[in-house]
Structure 1
Amino acid sequence: MRDIVDRLREMFEGEGLRDYLGEDVSMAQHMLQAAVHARTAGAPDYLVVAALVHDIGHFTGVVSGRDLMSGKENHHDDAGADWLATWFGPEITEPVRLHVAAKRYLCAVEPSYFDALSDASVYTLGLQGGPMSAAEVAEFENNPYHRDAITLRRWEDAGKNADAPTLTFDEFMPAIRAVAIRV
């Protein structure tokens, strides 16, 4: 089995160079920017890596990100978390799994959050179930990883700036290797 770092690098340098589903950045730029925001915030390596790989499910799922933008929910949150579980523990996979739910949650509990979403995020929110109901909010808040997912979501939202400087994938290799349960 190939090393997870090599597999991720191939995705970032391949499919990741494509546009990010209606945003002004590529998928790779988006994920790298989210990871830079995590690192700048002083987050532990596991959250930096979760930010780095949060949208990997667009590449590993049965339904692509392109299908999502054409109106078919691709459940990239679950696809990515399930794929990542081969190499990483729940401190990484569960915030990844919950990052879409965190968007739905924030739209339900912070009215101003919705207003700050990009047009593409508003569109996908509709496909992903819209803002959470009160029962869904309570269930989400009972998940032990919900706070990390909310934090990850905010870094993701900030990672859509075409003019923002970013780091390279290789600059995150030590963090990936530090938190991988199997490399």
Structure 2
Amino acid sequence: MNTTVIDRIFSIFNTFGDIHYGEDVSQIEHILQSAHLARQDGASEALIAAALLHDVGQFLDDAGKAAEEKGIDARHEISGAAYLTPYFPPSVTDPVRLHVEAKRYLCSAEPGYREGLSRASELSLTLQGGPHNPQEMEDFLAKPGAEDAIRLRRYDDLGKRQDWPVPDLESYRPLLESLLLR
């Protein structure tokens, strides 16, 4: 069984989890809150896993640091999905790959959405190409996983509360193990 990949992912999160990347909460608080919001929303197990894993790419090749310190979009959603693809099904990796594009979509599709973004999300939006144009919106909605990516994006946006106690990382191990590709 590939449970060692879960150990590697948890090690990455525990090593880099105290980083804030411009947010009011640490990265570990953010991912745990995002996953908890997905659980509270009754999301599928795959979408809960995606919410937990959506920012793993921030820690690969210092992608998050590149965005924060150098103003470069290191495309953490792409590197994160690529890292996860050998181990998890598309129902997990597609929303991870599309969660940034979902933000761009929502900025165009939903009046007032952009105004609710955190400072860090607003900065990264500019680096990531800004709001979708009408053709990009249509193309995005046609992609597999787009609807789940929109749901993930909402968990991502809301998972930034200070001093919110949520279940710990280890509580997600059985869920991740159940989703591993065999």
Q: Say whether the fold is shared (TM-score over 0.5).
A: yes
Q: State the alpha-carbon separation in 2 of the partners of residues 110 and 58 from structure 1.
A: 26
Q: State the alpha-carbon separation in 1 of the partners of residues 3 and 148 from structure 2.
A: 29
Alignment-derived partner of residue 38 in structure 1: 38
Query: What's the TM-score once normalised by structure 2's chain length?
Result: 0.95
Deviation, 1:2, is: 6.7
After the TM superposition, which residues 164-175 of structure 1 pair with which residues of structure 2 at under 5 Å, given as runs? Answer: 164-175=164-175
Deviation, 1:43, is: 1.2
Q: In the alignment, is residue 66 of structure 1 matched against residue 65 of structure 2? A: yes
- Report if aligned partners of 2:17, 2:26 keep a CA contact under 8 Å in 1: yes
Deviation per CA, 1:73-108, whole angstroms, max 9, x where unpaired? 110000000000111011111100000000000001
Give 3-state SS (helix, strand or coil) of 2:7's partner: helix
Alignment-derived partner of residue 135 in structure 1: 135
Q: State the alpha-carbon separation in 2 of the partners of residues 162 and 63 from structure 1.
A: 24
Alignment-derived partner of residue 179 in structure 2: 179
Alignment-derived partner of residue 92 in structure 1: 92
Give the partner amino acid of 1:26: S
Query: What's the TM-score once normalised by structure 1's chain length?
Result: 0.95
Alignment-derived partner of residue 116 in structure 1: 116
Deviation, 1:165, is: 1.4
Alignment-derived partner of residue 161 in structure 1: 161
Deviation per CA, 1:104-146, whole angstroms, max 9, x where unpaired? 0000111210010011111100000000011100100111211
- Report if aligned partners of 2:18, 2:26 keep a CA contact under 8 Å in 1: yes
Q: State the alpha-carbon separation in 1 of the partners of residues 154 and 28 from structure 2.
A: 17
Q: State the alpha-carbon separation in 1 of the partners of residues 35 and 162 from structure 2.
A: 15
Alignment-derived partner of residue 53 in structure 1: 53
Give the partner amino acid of 1:92: V
- Number of equivalences: 180
RMSD after superposition: 1.2
Deviation per CA, 1:8-39, whole angstroms, max 9, x where unpaired? 110121112222x1111111110010000001
Q: State the alpha-carbon separation in 1 of the partners of residues 143 and 112 from structure 2.
A: 24
Contiguous gaps of at least 5 residues in structure 2: none
Give 3-state SS (helix, strand or coil) of 2:163's partner: coil
Give the partner amino acid of 1:65: G
Contiguous gaps of at least 5 residues in structure 1: none
Alignment-derived partner of residue 5 in structure 2: 4
